[in-house]
Structure 1
Amino acid sequence: MSKIIGAHFQLQEETDRAREALVAAGFPDDRISNFFVSDAGQHAVTPIGGDHIVSPGAKESPEGAAKGMATGGAIGAALGAATVPVTGPLGPVIGGLVGAHVGSLYSFSHMKEAGEQEDGSVANQVEPRRGGMMVAVAVDGQSEQKAIDIFRQLGTHHIERAEGTIENRDWRDFNPVSVPDWV
């Protein structure tokens, strides 16, 4: 396992230029890897697809819906009971059902928006890895800064540091859902 410096690019031509610049600077060609990284949620690392078995923002949904239904049902039943002289014995029942429905819908307003992170999540503390082309190179202590400088000269602002194995142009143990260590 070695230290790896990876940079994100948008175009294939940019990754080709990066590989050429790294080889010209003395990095072995078989220790440089070019590949495409999918956007978050599209890595199919679980048996059912996706990145996680449970969607990160949805774990509070059943609890929130239950609270909303209970509160709305109680309020609706109380209001329905007040209308018994007009609606008869069905007033509290219908009021409770309508209140439970409205309460469950209200609970959706407290759910997280698409892409919003969990409170206290590590993802809140770092910029996530974006989809696109990536070039990674295995480095040692002396060549790490040289690789970073080459990537910066080529115009990328998303450079990360990792540990892994690149052999025959393949970063075999790359984990697309890992939290990037940005340089």
Structure 2
Amino acid sequence: MGNIIAGRFDQQISADEARAEILRAGFAEEQVSTFYVSPPGQHDMTLIGGDEIKSHGAEHTERGIAKGGIAGGVVGAVIGAATMPVIGPVAPVVGALVGAHVGDLAGSLSETEDDGTESGTLPYRRSGMMLAISAASEDEEARAVRVLRELQALDIERAEGTIANGDWEDFDPLQPPRLVDLH
């Protein structure tokens, strides 16, 4: 197991050009791997598909829906009571139901997650074309990072692993990337 420097590209052609440039920078073909990383949740890691049995995002949505639904229901009931002379005795019930649905939607949309980019980490690996270089020394690491920066690679990271025959054998798409300090 050795050190790997990797960068993400949004387009295949950019990754291909970066691969050619890395090879021109003196890295051997056996040190380089290019592959596509699927979006989070689409790595087919479980028997039923997806990455995990449980959706972590659903926890936030459930809390938001509960809060929003209750608030929306109360507001809807008040509005329903105010419109009772026009709609009739079912106005508070209809108002509460409509308010609860609107509150559910607002509650589920209000839950946001910090993507961690300011602290130098990402909570998940973003999708795109990955170019990975096995670096045998600190000198090679610095050269790989320099070339990836020049080529405007996204999410340049440092990892441990093995690249053999053009394949990053122990790559884990669920492992959050450890970003290289870009300052």
- When normalised by structure 1's length, the TM-score is 0.69
Q: Deviations over 1:80-120 (max 9, x none)?
A: 6xx6xxx6xxx4x763464144224213212236xx7436x
Q: Partners of 1:74 and 1:151 in 2: how far apart?
A: 54
Give identity over the alignment, percent: 35
Q: SS state of the match for residue 143, structure 1?
A: helix
**Is residue 134 of structure 1 aligned with residue 130 of structure 2?**
yes
Unaligned 5+ segments in structure 1 are: none
Deviates more, 1:136-145 or 1:26-35: 26-35
Q: Partners of 1:174 and 1:160 in 2: how far apart?
A: 13
| Displacement after TM superposition at 1:175 (Å) | 2.0
| Displacement after TM superposition at 1:5 (Å) | 0.4
The count of aligned residue pairs is 173
Q: Partners of 1:109 and 1:130 in 2: how far apart?
A: 27
Unaligned 5+ segments in structure 2 are: none
- Which amino acid in 2 is paired with 1:118? E
Q: Which residue of 2 aligns with 1:45?
A: 45
Q: Which residue of 2 aligns with 1:102?
A: 99
Q: 1:95 to 1:156 in 2, by over 3 A?
A: same
Q: Which residue of 2 aligns with 1:28?
A: 28
C-alpha RMSD of matched pairs (Å): 3.7
Q: Deviations over 1:6-29 (max 9, x none)?
A: 122344444344334433444332
Q: SS state of the match for residue 23, structure 1?
A: helix
Q: What are the residue-to-residue correspondences of 1:53-68 with 2, within 5 Å?
A: 53-56=54-57, 58-68=58-68
Q: Say whether the 8 Å CA contact 1:32–1:135 is kept in structure 2.
A: yes
Q: 1:133 to 1:8 in 2, by over 3 A?
A: same
- When normalised by structure 2's length, the TM-score is 0.69
- Which amino acid in 2 is paired with 1:168? N
**Is residue 146 of structure 1 aligned with residue 143 of structure 2?**
yes
Q: Partners of 2:69 and 2:147 in 1: how far apart?
A: 58
More helix by share: 2
Task: Specify the structure having the higher radius of gyration (Cα).
Answer: 1
Q: 1:97 to 1:12 in 2, by over 3 A?
A: closer
Deviates more, 1:126-135 or 1:142-151: 126-135
Q: SS state of the match for residue 138, structure 2?
A: coil
